[in-house]
Amino acid sequence: MKQPVLVGDGAMGTMLQQMGLPVGETPEEWNISHPQVIAEIHRQYLEAGADVIETNTFGANSYKLRGGTASKVREMNIAGSRLAREMAGSKALVAGSVGPTGCLLAPWGELSFADAVRAYTLQAAALAAGGADFILIETMTDLQEARAAMFGAMSADMPVAVQLTVEMSGRTLMGTPCSVAAAVLSAFKPLWVGCNCGTGPEAMLDSIRQMRHWTNSVSAFPNAGLPEWQAGKQVYPLDPESFAANSHRLFEAGASLVGGCCGTTPAHIRMLRSTLGSSARVVESHEYLQEMIAKRSNQNKVSEGTKWVVGEESAGYLNTQGMQPGMFLASRTNVFPLGQDGVKYQLGPVGSIVNLEPSSWSLTGKVQDPAQVQIPIVEIPEDLASPVIASMVAELQIGAMPVVFASHSPDALKEALLHYCGRAGVLVSANGDDEAFVEIAVAMGALPVYR
């Protein structure tokens, strides 16, 4: 293993249950009512050799707390972040743990994307105030909710990593392949993109390998196997030795941060640490974080020059996907590599989003050549109200449409990009008059498209 590696901590819930957390009680409440217990769990993971410890704030958002007030959300998250910071000191990084809301986002459910972003912004800001080094979004089963959490973390001006829960099928519960999720999320230049929960380390290997095609920084926090019922109890079958042996292969597959999720304990993390030996390039965690942040700043500068000129083929360096890095569009379920030899893309104007019927759109349209793919140019009127844009763009998820947006209004364009579940293109003028739109595209994880 030539790349630097870090070891994460293990499960919080498993440890809290062992230390007396009653069934049905909110774990995050213990940041306030039982701070000594939370501190002791952090101490044990640090003693086991964790370079990164997570705050006890996984469910501390206003929706998961079932109507928790903004002041309550802030109190829980600051308390959890401070506890971890006090225990970690300068020895380890503190990851502000951010989990799902427990609600379905539009168009599948009633929670609006904007409301989800607001909830995550509140949580991320509180974690930052308590001293977290970065936000770790985890156990996401919906790509759109992962995006909402990322926008929330970025609104709080925090570095962010994101992990999804991938089923044995290689897809999230909402149907997004792990490779597509990695591609879409990597456009935001997070610290890590990875997987956690859902499977044990062996079953997670293929997902990590697929994600590695889209980012150099992959993380993995597997369970101690799949839970089993034994003597009327739910147990996780992998002992520390078996977990460590299998999880070490995640490092070999390209993950640079590996820890544990459900069923793992300090004993699992201690054994994982011991497997690294002298073959790993172990680094000081705080220095490594600063290096990663600086590297992503440079990547953002490179991204500003990444664009698709329709009709041109890729030139120069090609990655393992046979395309220039960053040269792709993506829907909720598919990636569309651009400028790739043998595949031709046609842009088809379809007019205003107001008149668009997503169900009538076809990937091939009227094109007879199977090597040609049609991508719609969807206009966003400048006088369209934000809630209307949000609702109409959300509907594009149902057909998992790739799309290039065009607009004369920066605000309307931002609203469309914010709500699009995937990676959209932004149509810009080849004469250089649309630099503001290029900046918006890069900041929103989209791709400038010149025609």
- Comparing 33-47, 248-262, 371-385, the range with the smallest average pLDDT is 371-385
- Comparing 272-276, 371-375, 409-413, the range with the smallest average pLDDT is 371-375
Q: In terms of domains, do 214 and 148 share one?
A: yes
pLDDT over 90 (residue 313): no
Q: What is the pLDDT of residues 278-299, one digit of tens each?
A: 556 667 888 889 888 888 776 6
Q: In terms of domains, do 147 and 226 share one?
A: yes
Is there a contact between 162 and 190 (Cβ–Cβ < 8 Å)?
yes
Q: In terms of domains, do 286 and 406 share one?
A: no
Mean model confidence pLDDT for the chain: 89
Tokens of 67: 């109507």
Q: In terms of domains, do 275 and 390 share one?
A: no
Using a 10 angstrom Cβ sphere, with 0-12 exposed, 13-18 middle and 19 or more buried, the burial of residue 307 is buried
Give CA–CA dist 302/360, Å, rounded.
Answer: 37
Q: In terms of domains, do 396 and 258 share one?
A: no
Predicted TM-score (pTM) of the model is 0.92
Q: In terms of domains, do 193 and 137 share one?
A: yes
Section 13-18 average pLDDT: 93
Q: In terms of domains, do 335 and 291 share one?
A: no
Residue 423 DSSP class? B
Q: What is the CATH number of the domain that holds 294?
A: 3.20.20.330
Structural domain boundaries enclosing 269: 4-299
Tokens of 86: 């006090």
Domain total in the chain? 2
Q: What is the pLDDT of residues 136-154, one digit of tens each?
A: 999 999 999 999 999 999 9
Domain boundary pick from 299, 321, 338: 299
Tokens of 305: 């020059």
Q: In terms of domains, do 239 and 316 share one?
A: no
Q: In terms of domains, do 435 and 289 share one?
A: no
Q: What is the pLDDT of residue 425?
A: 95
Q: What is the pLDDT of residue 361?
A: 73
Q: Which residues contact 343 (CB under 8 A, 6 or more apart)?
A: 337, 371, 372, 373
Residue 124: name the closest of 160, 94, 92 by CA.
160
Q: From the CB of residue 207, how many other CB atoms can be counted at a distance below 10 Å?
A: 30
Section 257-275 average pLDDT: 97
Q: Compare 130 and 227 and report the one with higher pLDDT.
A: 130
Q: In terms of domains, do 281 and 365 share one?
A: no
Q: What is the CATH number of the domain that holds 435?
A: 3.40.50
Tokens of 422: 């995937």
Q: In terms of domains, do 272 and 131 share one?
A: yes
Q: In terms of domains, do 294 and 389 share one?
A: no
Domain boundary pick from 279, 299, 319: 299
pLDDT over 50 (residue 401): yes
What whole-number percentage of the chain has pLDDT above 70? 88
Domain boundary pick from 299, 334, 369: 299
Residue 9 to residues 26, 53, 282, Cα–Cα distance (Å): 21, 5, 16
